[in-house]
Amino acid sequence: MSQPSFDFVTPPTPSSPTGITVVAESPVVAVEAESTYSVGELADAINGTLRRQFGDGVWVRGEIQGFNERGPHAYFRLVEDGPNGKAVLNVQLFAPARSRLRPVLEQHRLRLGDGLKVRVFGRLDLYAPSGQLGLKMTDVDPRFTLGDMAAQRDELIRRLVASGQYDENRRRVLVSAPLRVGVVASVDSAAWADFVHELDRSALAFRVRVADVRVQGPTAVAMITRALRMFGSATDLDVVVLIRGGGAKTELVTFDHEAIATTIAACALPVLTGLGHEIDRSIADDVAHSAFKTPTACAAGLVERVQSFLVGVEQSWVSVARRADLLLTRADHELATSGGSIGHRALTALDRCNARLTGAVSTIARVPSRLDAEQRHLAGLHKQVRLADPVLTMARGWSITRDESGRTVRDVTHLAPGNLLVTTFANGAATSTVTGVTPDPVQPDQIQPNSSQGALP
């Protein structure tokens, strides 16, 4: 917006008490060589020139610094870092104007404070007691502030998308039952009380660890990022939650800070947010794994997820039980069928066994008569064996003669004088030496088997 140039071209002012007329020109004030202004007269002259030059006031833009409230009044510096260095303008917002502007600021959910870029309207005034030029503020342009905030926000989002950080935390896996929760919040706030109440109301076994932080002001960003990093490195947590209650847009601007956004993106655990009112949306919400409208809604989201998990487990259990019942019923039927078949086959096999057993019994019943004949035959064989037993034969006076090699001597012609012989009797043995051999003219094949003259085997 174009502004009137600040020059001191004015019509002649009334004479000073000394009677000297002052003529002001741009860019400096020229006076007659002998003319002298008092400080107060010069201040009045400057203020008169400012009022004539700028009429009812002027619009000025800049960043608020040193915001200070003194009773119903507010004071701050409007600062600009330009190509020619830093420019500062003192601004006074007195009670009447502040009271009148309060509804406008509240309508747009703005609150004046340090760091806020504003476009304000007011009347320039040189305050003689301090010699400082200031702006007595009477109006503000909320659209300028909101537009600047939106532009900064859009620029940060563009950088986050370009660096791949915008969707980074959404790639973290949120467990089915996130019961171990790390909460970043101000424990003195209604947001924390609402969050805890919602979890308690569920009667679920949530385990909550909280980091008490400031959620606005100059220390808020550092405290929040430190808490997020601490919880992100914890091994005994399932999820990290960042919550804050409602407030002015200028208070919630903390959560549009780049440091908080990048810390959320890099967090090793999923980050859930519940920031402000339902109409609020911060960059922290944009980069978080899941964003909820309010702290209470965030807690309700956790409760719903755990309850869904429990319902799923219960349904799975019912399905398993139903399947098990079906399999047991089928197994009972198959067992009954198999049992009947086995019983029938067992009875059939038993009948066959009984038939074979009956036949065997009949056969065994005929055995004694056959055994008698066999026993008589065995008795005869036993008698014959006993008769052939050499010990019995030797007991009747017979003996067995063997040569040195242990062979039985059956033929006298096999002997020669000097041979060593061993003769075995029923009760012992004797050793002798052959001194002579006299063959019998009767040949062995002429001896009858039953003759008492036969030789022992």
Question: For the segment 367-412, what is each residue's pLDDT rounded down to a tens digit?
Answer: 676 777 778 888 888 777 777 677 666 677 778 889 888 898 888 8
- Buried b vs exposed e over 302-337: b needs ≥16 C-beta within 10 Å? bbebbeeeeeeeeeeeeeeeeeeeeeeeeeeeeeee
Question: Has residue 199 been placed in a domain?
Answer: yes
> 83 and 160, same structural domain?
no
Q: How confident is the model at residue 443 (pLDDT cuts 50, 70, 90)?
A: low
> 165 and 263, same structural domain?
yes
> 283 and 236, same structural domain?
yes
**What pLDDT score was predicted for residue 110?**
85
Question: Has residue 90 been placed in a domain?
Answer: yes
pLDDT at 8 over 50: no
Question: Has residue 373 been placed in a domain?
Answer: no
> 215 and 171, same structural domain?
yes
Percent of the chain with pLDDT over 90: 39
pLDDT at 442 over 70: no
pLDDT at 351 over 80: yes
- Count: domains in the chain: 3
More confident residue, 201 or 406: 201
What the block records as the tokens of 393 is 């034969």
Q: Which of the listed residues 286, 307, 328 is the one where a domain comes to its end?
A: 307
**What pLDDT score was predicted for residue 26?**
40
**What pLDDT score was predicted for residue 27?**
44
> 173 and 59, same structural domain?
no
What the block records as the tokens of 439 is 């063959």
Domain holding 50, by residue range, is 23-150
Chain segment 91-122, per-residue pLDDT in tens: 999 999 999 999 988 888 888 988 888 999 99
> 164 and 299, same structural domain?
yes
pLDDT at 6 over 60: no
pLDDT at 446 over 70: no
Chain segment 126-177, per-residue pLDDT in tens: 888 888 888 999 999 988 888 888 888 888 899 999 999 999 999 999 999 9
> 132 and 29, same structural domain?
yes
| CATH code for the domain in which residue 272 is found | 3.40.50.2300
Q: Which of the listed residues 287, 307, 327 is the one where a domain comes to its end?
A: 307
> 121 and 204, same structural domain?
no
Angle CA 21–26–30, to nearest 5: 35
Question: Has residue 156 been placed in a domain?
Answer: yes
Q: What is the mean pLDDT of residues 27-49?
A: 70
Chain segment 221-246, per-residue pLDDT in tens: 999 999 999 999 999 999 999 999 88
Q: Which of the listed residues 261, 287, 307 is the one where a domain comes to its end?
A: 307
Q: How confident is the model at residue 190 (pLDDT cuts 50, 70, 90)?
A: very high
> 417 and 301, same structural domain?
no
Question: pTM of this prediction?
Answer: 0.55
**Side chain identity at residue 272, one-letter code:** L
> 290 and 416, same structural domain?
no
> 81 and 159, same structural domain?
no
pLDDT at 276 over 80: yes
**Residue 165 and residue 266 in contact, taking contact as beta carbons nearer than 8 Å:** yes
**What pLDDT score was predicted for residue 12?**
40
Question: Has residue 441 been placed in a domain?
Answer: yes
Average pLDDT, the chain: 83
| Cα–Cα dist 169/184, whole Å | 17
**What pLDDT score was predicted for residue 45?**
82
> 166 and 69, same structural domain?
no
